[in-house]
Structure 1
Amino acid sequence: MTDAYVNILVDPGAVTDAANEIGDLDAVSTVHVVTGEYDVIAQLDLDDSDDLPRVVADEIHGVAGVVDTVTNVAFEP
């Protein structure tokens, strides 16, 4: 299993709709609208780490209003 956090930059005015759509994606376990450099943070819960590029590039970037992402893969300490 792979946990990853995706920091998402969204066009102004599209944040709520984009966050709701991202939250509906199968790979997304939680989504939050946040303050700071990014607008949305999504936690991914993936059975196979090989799915990560497809989920980010195709599914998250396929959401209307998404401009850019930065992905952080989580590891146990």
Structure 2
Amino acid sequence: MAREVTHEENGPAKLDESDMGDDGMIYVCQCGLSDSKPLCDGSHNATADEEDGVIYKYVNDDADGERREIGELDEADE
């Protein structure tokens, strides 16, 4: 599975101890849907039923918003 995500930031985010969870770990968003980027907020749960080889677009990059299939990956792209 893949998804199109719009990024608006143009620089890095500095992380420190205040970003640590209760378990002392820092979780960085990899799905692109978190409202607290670059930190994970659990939004990736919306992607659990995405199919391999399909590209998805979440309207406004919102995990709670509408999800559309916008294409398929070629085997060479996977």
Structure with the larger helix share: 1
Query: Relative contact order (alpha carbons < 8 A, sep ≥ 6): 1 or 2 greater?
Result: 1
By the TM > 0.5 criterion, same fold?
A: no
If the length of structure 1 is used for normalisation, what is the TM-score?
0.28
Report the TM-score when normalising by structure 2.
0.27
